[in-house]
């Protein structure tokens, strides 16, 4: 891997991140980075190897990918509300989700699939004329083609805005659906237990509040989030999330049920004395703008929008310390989502046609990235 592709590795206590898309011009104080010992990668850590290979091109403002058991992949288009199936290097239309209204960052956002003995459901997080909501639709197969059935609303009434809509959904190893919801431009919502905005939510596949949620009768799993958009789990079932900061720090967090991650009182580290959970990794706001998150082997991979790079994050299973390194800096443009690909590869989704990027020929695209055992992780100085 060339030095241009691999930015200097970054330790959890030092690492820093980006939100080039959403700033207010203010510069709130943030904790200064501090040096930490180098973290050796775990034995199953992986790193990108070689050039990305196009899987499919010509996508329009894509937002989320979900892999199906048959090897094909579904992709959401934010602005059009369309769901496309990617198979064999080509796309086919599965259907258009009713009621999608695109404005600013809103539209058709996250996708997830749930398989039952009676069939499959496609779950979607979308913006309507009135709110953000979670719906599910039968994913029907007729002669090899896929189609969407009528939507069933599982959760509605989430505040929407031109930004900070959240929108990632994913099923955890506990067979529950997790939903990231942004503060929709009103920071105080993140600390309001009566609001579902600025939270990570947890629900059953039918949209019911699980009996073992942290607060009885509430969907809220964790609070104090600004605009989380990445969800992934390790082999032990521990949830991790990535979150857009404002002007100082983006975050990679280990999520504990009922925990408070500090926004808007704290951005980045420095909240433990106030009862908040500090991030494992933080980046200054020109290096990440973290969106999709995936885990392949023992490594988390994070899609960077404003930072226009792919982050690889290794977490020490014994201490919880984390270190990160960046690849493909500026080579692919904005990255919106990542998912495990076939045969141990990683698939990354570009997002250069969403109105904030600079489209290149063929954009937007899904690329396949080969992975190899990580050679090592060094200390970070905040430079590329």
Summarised one tens digit per residue, pLDDT across range 119-134 is 999 999 999 999 999 9
Q: What is the domain count for the chain? A: 1
Cα(181)–Cα(154) distance, rounded to whole angstroms? 15
Q: Is residue 145 part of a domain?
A: yes
Q: Is residue 63 part of a domain?
A: yes
Residue 38's pLDDT is what? 59
Q: Is residue 91 part of a domain?
A: yes
Handedness of CA 173, 176, 177, 179 (dihedral sign): negative
In a 13 Å sphere around the CA of 324, the CA atoms on its Cβ side amount to 31
Q: Both tokens of residue 181?
A: 């919801």
Low-confidence ranges of the chain (pLDDT < 50): 1-37, 377-384
Q: Is residue 230 part of a domain?
A: yes
Q: Is residue 173 part of a domain?
A: yes
Cα(9)–Cα(7) distance, rounded to whole angstroms? 6
Tell me if 28 sits within 8 A of 267, measured CB to CB.
Answer: yes
Domain hosting 343: range is 10-23+41-373
Q: Is residue 226 part of a domain?
A: yes
Residue 32's pLDDT is what? 42
Q: What is the distance, to the nearest Å, from the Cα of residue 63 to the centroid of all Cα atoms in its chain?
A: 10
Q: Is residue 294 part of a domain?
A: yes
Q: Is residue 382 part of a domain?
A: no
Beta bridge partners of 301: 294, 312
Q: What is the CATH number of the domain that holds 203?
A: 2.120.10.30
**pLDDT tens, residue by residue, 29-75:** 444 433 333 577 889 999 999 999 999 999 999 999 999 999 999 99
Cα(146)–Cα(139) distance, rounded to whole angstroms? 7
What are the b/e assignments for 239-257, b being 16+ CB within 10 Å? bbbbbbbbbbbbbbbbbee
pTM of the model: 0.89
Number of other residues whose CB lies within 10 A of the CB of residue 31: 15
Residues whose CB is less than 8 angstroms from the CB of residue 202 and which lie 6 or more positions away in sequence, other chains included: 172, 176, 177, 178, 179, 210, 213, 219, 221
Cα(62)–Cα(367) distance, rounded to whole angstroms? 13
């Amino acid at each position: 891997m060339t030095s241009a592709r691999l930015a200097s590795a970054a330790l959890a206590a030092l690492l820093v991140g980006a939100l080039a898309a959403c700033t207010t011009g203010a510069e709130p104080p943030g904790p200064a980075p501090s040096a930490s010992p180098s973290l050796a990668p775990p034995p199953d850590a992986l790193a990108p190897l070689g050039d990305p290979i196009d899987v499919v091109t010509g996508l329009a403002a894509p937002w989320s990918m979900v892999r199906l058991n048959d090897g094909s992949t579904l992709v959401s288009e934010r602005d059009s509300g369309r769901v496309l199936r990617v198979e064999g290097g080509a796309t086919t239309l599965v259907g258009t989700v009713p009621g999608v209204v695109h404005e600013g960052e809103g539209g058709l956002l996250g996708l997830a699939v749930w398989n039952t003995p009676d069939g499959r459901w496609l779950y979607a997080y979308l913006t309507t004329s009135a709110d953000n909501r979670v719906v599910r639709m039968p994913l029907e197969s007729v002669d090899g083609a896929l189609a969407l059935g009528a939507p069933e609303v599982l959760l509605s009434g989430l505040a929407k805005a031109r930004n900070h809509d959240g929108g990632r959904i994913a099923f955890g190893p506990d067979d529950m659906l997790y939903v990231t919801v942004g503060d929709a431009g009103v920071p105080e919502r993140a600390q309001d237990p009566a609001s579902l905005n600025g939270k990570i939510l947890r629900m059953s596949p039918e949209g019911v509040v699980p009996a073992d949620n942290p607060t009885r009768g509430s969907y809220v799993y964790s609070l104090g989030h600004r605009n989380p958009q990445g969800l992934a789990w390790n082999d032990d079932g521990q949830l991790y999330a990535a979150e857009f900061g404002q002007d100082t720090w983006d975050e990679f967090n280990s999520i504990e049920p009922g925990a408070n991650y500090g926004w808007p009182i704290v951005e980045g580290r420095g909240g433990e004395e106030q009862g908040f959970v500090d991030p494992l990794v933080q980046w200054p706001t020109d290096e990440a703008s973290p969106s999709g998150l995936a885990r392949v082997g023992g490594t988390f991979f994070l899609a960077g929008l404003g930072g226009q790079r792919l982050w690889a994050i290794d977490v020490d299973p014994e201490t919880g310390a984390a270190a990160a390194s960046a690849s493909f800096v500026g080579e692919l443009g904005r990255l919106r989502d990542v998912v495990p690909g076939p045969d141990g590869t990683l698939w990354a989704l570009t997002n250069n046609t969403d109105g904030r990027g600079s489209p290149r020929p063929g954009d937007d695209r899904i690329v396949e990235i080969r992975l190899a055992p990580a050679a090592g992780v060094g200390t970070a100085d905040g430079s590329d």
